[in-house]
Amino acid sequence: MLDVSYMSGGYGRADVLENVSLKVAQGEAVALLGPNGAGKSTLMAALTATLPRRAGTLRLDGRDLSRARSHDLVAAGMALVPEGRLIFTPFTVRDNLRLGAIALSRRGRLAERHDYVFGLFPRLAERVGQRAGTLSGGEQQMLAIGRALMSKPRLLLLDEPFLGLAPMIVSEIVAALRKLQRDGLTILLVEQKLDIALTCTTRAYVMLKGAVALESSTHDLAQRPDLHDLYFKLSAPRTP
Amino acid sequence: MSDLLELVVSATASGSIYALVALAYLLILRPTSIINFAVGEWAATGAFVGVAAQTTLAWPALDGPYWLAVIAVLVCLGALGWLVEALTVRPLIARGANITSPILALLGVLVIFRESLTMLFGADPLPSPPPFGFKRVAFGLFAGVPQQFLIITVTFVLFAAVWLFFERTVWGRAFEAVALNRRAAALMGINLRRVTTFAFVSGAMVAGLAGLLMSPLTSAHYMMGLPLAIQGFTALVIGGVGRVEGALLGGLVLAFVEQLGARYLPIPSGLTLGFPFVLLILFLFLRPSGLMPPREAR
């Protein structure tokens, strides 16, 4: 479904990403792992065209979208839950969700999307008239995910959605992601912690210093005895 | 007493014009963060286009009712706003220029507009025919010329419409979303380029309307743009850049200070021209967020 090859890009003149290639198949849940500063969020920005891409191709269902702008990518079925959530805090929950659906072509689907998101996160339905800035951190994250789902994406990108959340909320959101996957959504999850990624993805890419260092099934990754030093080992220079 | 009430009408009318110019600034500033000082010249252009449309200077076929002049101004200014955005702002944004670049480019646009107006219409003021004449009318205790009441009515109706657009429609919310966070707005699927274009087109239309409405009271003159740009900007700072209502409030406050000061303060009337600057400095020092601060900082 998603096919990225040799993508490079970055902020200002410096490239953060170096020839990143990855694939996500239809219905798959893939994790993008890596330590702080590995370029995971930069890759998310490049995939959603909020950062200029200097080289490489991006295909979605075989369609070449390498030069597409952000709103075209949303219309093509890709949605990102960005790092730091970026919800519109002065707006109500309702308005945030409505904006998420701005790319929906047909109005009739709006009610259907609302029902779907409220079914996934019933708490949002209770808080629909409340200003987003007054929600708790967990609820804000649910809103950020719900808002991304309003455009009826086929591929959902999530950038560290569990950051700073209480364990209870984490398992609630993990359950929601599992349900989304059962409903046929393809997921690419950016995460720092391996253990969380293991609970809701089947395959993983490990990014280091702006490049993909390793690709593996999450199951195999979990079996590795050197799991805890993995980032350190991968980033160390290889001795001949 | 009737003297004071007449002053209220006159100040409300002037304040409405300032408010319209402030609204033109605001429509562009909110989603793009660009302060466009050329809105004053756009207002002047609106005045001249209105005169031309009404006095058959350019198109004899259009010698008709006032609403044709209104349409001519809206169409011309909308097209000019679109052209300016496409030729100066869009290429700079596409090249990732710093936000000061389009602001400076638009100062160049200001000069181009003023000089073009001088070349096209000459340096002398052109009288602009008032659509409802100059006969004094009174509504209860409030009296003035019809044009003043027309200005006030149009301004309040327009502000109500713009307020409803921002608060009640999804595209109005989208504009606000772009103002709050461009990246998040793009991730929603909002077309940022289209929003920028719409901001400039609507800003130019509102500025042109302000010039058209005020021209019967002041004549159309190539030097009318700069004072309007300053007064509109001051109104924006007084009201606060975050809210549509702020522009209206700021315009009214500025006009009342100007006119009450000119009437009752023991100073030469020429000094009242400095009032916007005094208010501008006071507000920037004491209350930079304006009377109506934005709901929440980005």
Q: Is the pLDDT reported for residue B96 higher than 80?
A: no
Q: Check: CB of residue B179 under 8 Å from CB of residue B30.
A: yes
pLDDT per residue as tens digits for the range B35-68:
999 999 999 999 999 988 887 654 555 455 778 8
The predicted pLDDT at position A106 comes to: 66
Q: Check: CB of residue A29 under 8 Å from CB of residue A177.
A: yes
**A88 with B184: Cβ contact below 8 A:** yes
SS3 assignment for chain A: CEEEEEEEECCCCCCCEEEEEEEECCCCEEEEECCCCCCHHHHHHHHCCCCCEEEEEEEECCEECCCCCHHHHHHCCEEEECCCCCCCCCCEHHHHHHHHCCCCCCCHHHHHHHHHHHHHCHHHHHCCCCEHHHCCHHHHHHHHHHHHHCCCCCEEEEECCCCCCCHHHHHHHHHHHHHHHHCCCEEEEEECCHHHHHHHCCEEEEEECCEEEEEEEHHHHHHCCCHHHHHHHHHCCCCC
Residue B97 lies in a domain: yes
Q: Give the single-character DSSP code of B157.
A: H
Q: Shortest CB distance from B174 goes to which of A70, A102, A147? A: A102
Residue B285 lies in a domain: no
Residue B205 lies in a domain: yes
Residue B290 lies in a domain: no
Domain that holds residue B69: 2-224
Residue B81 lies in a domain: yes
Residue B220 lies in a domain: yes
Q: Name which of B2, B1, B3 is nearest B263 in CA terms.
A: B3
Query: How close does chain B come to A58, measured CA to CA in Å?
Result: 17
More confident residue, B274 or A178: A178
pLDDT, chain A, mean: 88
The predicted pLDDT at position B135 comes to: 80
The predicted pLDDT at position B291 comes to: 84
Q: How confident is the model at residue B297 (pLDDT cuts 50, 70, 90)?
A: very low
Minimum CA–CA partner of B185 in chain A = A99
The rounded distance, in Å, linking the Cα atoms of A225 and B181 is 44
Q: Does A70 lie at the interface with B, CB-CB under 8 angstroms? A: yes
The predicted pLDDT at position B1 comes to: 64
pLDDT per residue as tens digits for the range A218-235:
888 878 777 667 776 666
Share of residues in chain B with pLDDT > 90 (%): 59
Residue B104 lies in a domain: yes
Q: What is the mean pLDDT of residues A204-217?
A: 88
**A48 with B186: Cβ contact below 8 A:** yes
Q: How confident is the model at residue B241 (pLDDT cuts 50, 70, 90)?
A: confident
If one counts the domains in chain B, the total is 1
**B186 with A50: Cβ contact below 8 A:** yes
The predicted pLDDT at position A98 comes to: 93
Residue B274 lies in a domain: no
Q: What is the mean pLDDT of residues A30-57?
A: 88
Minimum CA–CA partner of A72 in chain B = B189
The rounded distance, in Å, linking the Cα atoms of B29 and B179 is 8
Query: How close does chain B come to A50, measured CA to CA in Å?
Result: 6
The predicted pLDDT at position B267 comes to: 81
**B189 with A90: Cβ contact below 8 A:** no
